[in-house]
Amino acid sequence: MKIDLHVHTTFSPDSSISPKALPRIARRVGLDGVAITDHNSVRARRLGRMPGMVVIYGVEVSTSAGHIIVYGAEEEIPRGISPEELLDYCREHALPAVAPHPYRISTGIGHLAFELTFTAVETLNGGSPEWQNRRAQRRADALGLPCTGGSDAHRPCEVGRAYTVVEGDDPLDAILKGRVRPAGRGLTLMSSLKKGMKTTFEWAARGFKHI
């Protein structure tokens, strides 16, 4: 199955993707499923099943060191929690924990993605420049770590830019067992510069507060 494991909806403050429109958008780009990973919110879970689409509900948690994605979380997780505390929580509840865009300057957790025990590392992020993705992939390959891909979509046109090929019928189990591999593409240099300018403007508009 082809599943975009990193999508934000309007339950995130910086996304314009309607949850109701998401299945149609995902089908149009050839996906079999999506993971809704809104910033610090599990409110999307109230949507329940989406006909014709495999949907995983997760959350992208703003930890004290950067963002971490938890799949299958059913309750809010406090912002500012340490990565170590969050990983303990995930192990206790048998939830996959993935380090997204580890080398993103503003919100990645950097070297911790490869020093702590994550279920997998997101080495192909559709919203990150290719050089960051390649750097993460090289490090993960050297350590033999499972890798995932996700678009990190905040706009409909970004859904499916990067995704994960999942083996089997149970995506969460496949992530936990490492039966996954990333596919798709990241940003070109020019697209990365444009996104950087846009992100900086939005950051300033929020009073220089990270999501």
- Decide if 211 is inside a domain: no
> Angle at the Cα of 141 (from 3 to 31), degrees rounded to 5?
10
Above 60 in pLDDT, residue 154? Answer: yes
The rounded distance, in Å, linking the Cα atoms of 94 and 74 is 12
- Decide if 138 is inside a domain: yes
| The pLDDT value given to residue 203 | 54
Above 80 in pLDDT, residue 198? Answer: no
- Scanning the structure block, which residue is given the tokens 């496949």? 174
Provide the domain limits for residue 36.
2-205
Mean of pLDDT over the chain:
92
Please give the tally of structural domains in the chain: 1
- Decide if 145 is inside a domain: yes
- Can you say how many angstroms the Cα of residue 19 is from the centroid of all Cα atoms in its chain? 16
Q: What is the pLDDT of residues 165-180, one digit of tens each?
A: 999 999 999 999 999 9
Q: What is the CATH number of the domain that holds 100?
A: 3.20.20.140
| The pLDDT value given to residue 49 | 78
Q: What would the two tokens of residue 92 be?
A: 């206790």
The rounded distance, in Å, linking the Cα atoms of 75 and 158 is 27
- Decide if 210 is inside a domain: no
- Decide if 153 is inside a domain: yes
The rounded distance, in Å, linking the Cα atoms of 5 and 70 is 11
| The pLDDT value given to residue 193 | 64
Average pLDDT value for residue range 124-132 = 96
Above 70 in pLDDT, residue 204? Answer: no
| The pLDDT value given to residue 28 | 96
- Decide if 99 is inside a domain: yes
